[in-house]
């Protein structure tokens, strides 16, 4: 059976800086996978390589057996970026942000049709943002902003969803809402890769977890990956000083 996502011995440099080193990762459809690593460990680079935004020096990435660029063109992959990667002052409403997920379904003039509007309203409802649809995107709270980009992926019809630190700076209600949404989407067959520093919440969110430090150090069940001696591999900690779930 063809995996939803396959990353095979992928290496990426930024100039002289090694960002990914022979990274290997395979994900099946309908799974939530947590990506764990310290800042600079290659998490965002891995996302960008999967999205086709960064070209690997070597190695192969396939999405449903095809090339990432083709998958992006077909709207298969949705991306929820880190907050600092977004211009929150740009004059665009929440509804318009979500509508950008429909661009791949429109013609070259990007004229929204009834089905595009229906998909956007449905997505806004699922993330509980319908009442904020006409607000400028920067006026939302941190958690609401993340939910708006999840809505974009839903409206897009993405079957692979990449979330880069979606719980950073969000309140508990938004965290719970996002977690519920991701579990629902996985049950519908969407494959989800989510980077997070919230290790305590990981077992309730993810079916599996990955430790990364330029290479994929470990890939397994959350409880196994979160053992102190395993976290020490990714964070350079003394295993005897790590507490449970840290």
**Number of structural domains the chain divides into:** 2
Of 104, 126, 157, the position where a domain reaches its end is: 157
Q: Within a domain: residue 199?
A: yes
Q: Within a domain: residue 223?
A: yes
The 3 state secondary structure assigned to 6-73 is: EEEEEEEEECCEEEEEEEEEEECCCCEEEEECCCCCCHHHHHHHHHCCCCCCEEEEEECCECHHHHHH
Cα 106–153–120 angle (5° rounding)? Answer: 60
- Nearest-angstrom CA–CA distance, 118 and 132: 16
Mean pLDDT is lowest, of 11-25, 105-119, 194-208, for: 105-119
**Do 31 and 131 have their domain in common?**
no
**Do 56 and 178 have their domain in common?**
yes
Q: Count the alpha carbons within 13 Å of 218 in the hemisphere toward its beta carbon.
A: 21
Identify the burial level of 111 via C-beta atoms within 10 angstroms of its C-beta, where 0-12 means exposed, 13-18 middle and 19 or more buried.
Answer: exposed
**Do 115 and 126 have their domain in common?**
yes
**Containing structural domain, residue 142:** 88-157
Instruction: Provide the CATH number for the domain around residue 242.
Output: 3.40.50.300
Structure token digits, residue 120: 């956007």
**Do 168 and 66 have their domain in common?**
yes
Read off φ and ψ for residue 191, nearest 5 degrees: -95, 130
- Nearest-angstrom CA–CA distance, 163 and 150: 8
Residue 68 pLDDT more than 90?
no
pTM value is: 0.89
Q: Within a domain: residue 71?
A: yes
**Do 198 and 243 have their domain in common?**
yes
Mean per-residue pLDDT, 123-127: 95
Structure token digits, residue 207: 């079916």
**Do 98 and 121 have their domain in common?**
yes
- Nearest-angstrom CA–CA distance, 195 and 178: 13
Q: How many CB atoms lie within 10 A of CB 223?
A: 11
**Do 186 and 212 have their domain in common?**
yes
**Do 163 and 100 have their domain in common?**
no
Q: Within a domain: residue 180?
A: yes
**Do 113 and 186 have their domain in common?**
no
Structure token digits, residue 196: 């997070």
What confidence category does residue 154 fall into, taking pLDDT thresholds of 50, 70 and 90? very high
Cα 201–164–178 angle (5° rounding)? Answer: 50
**pLDDT tens digits for 160-182?**
999 999 998 888 888 888 999 99
Q: What is the mean pLDDT of the chain?
A: 91
Q: Within a domain: residue 82?
A: no
**pLDDT tens digits for 102-122?**
988 887 778 899 999 999 999
**Do 129 and 167 have their domain in common?**
no
**Do 163 and 246 have their domain in common?**
yes
Q: Within a domain: residue 27?
A: yes
Q: Within a domain: residue 81?
A: no
Of 140, 157, 174, the position where a domain reaches its end is: 157
**Do 33 and 57 have their domain in common?**
yes
Q: Within a domain: residue 7?
A: yes
């Amino acid at each position: 059976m063809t995996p939803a996502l396959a990353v095979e011995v992928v290496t990426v440099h930024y100039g002289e800086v090694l960002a990914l080193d022979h990274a290997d990762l395979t994900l099946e459809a309908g799974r939530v996978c947590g990506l764990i690593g310290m800042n600079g460990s290659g998490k965002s680079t891995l996302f960008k390589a999967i999205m086709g935004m960064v070209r690997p020096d070597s190695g192969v990435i396939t999405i449903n057996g095809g090339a990432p660029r083709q998958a992006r063109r077909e709207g298969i992959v949705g991306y929820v970026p880190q907050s600092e990667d977004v211009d929150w002052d740009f004059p665009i409403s929440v509804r318009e942000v979500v509508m950008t997920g429909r661009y791949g379904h429109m013609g070259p003039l990007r004229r929204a049709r009834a089905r595009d509007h229906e998909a956007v309203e449905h997505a806004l409802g699922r993330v509980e943002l319908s009442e904020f649809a006409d607000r400028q995107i920067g006026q939302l709270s941190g958690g609401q902003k993340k939910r708006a980009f999840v809505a974009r992926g839903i409206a897009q019809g993405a079957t692979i969803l990449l979330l880069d630190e979606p719980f950073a700076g969000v309140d508990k209600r938004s965290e719970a809402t996002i977690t519920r949404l991701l579990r629902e989407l996985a049950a519908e067959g969407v494959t989800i890769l989510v980077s997070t520093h919230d290790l305590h919440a990981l077992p309730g969110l993810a079916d599996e977890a990955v430790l990364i430090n330029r290479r994929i150090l470990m890939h397994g069940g959350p409880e196994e990956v979160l053992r102190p001696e395993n976290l020490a591999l990714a964070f350079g900690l003394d295993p005897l000083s790590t507490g449970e779930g840290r």
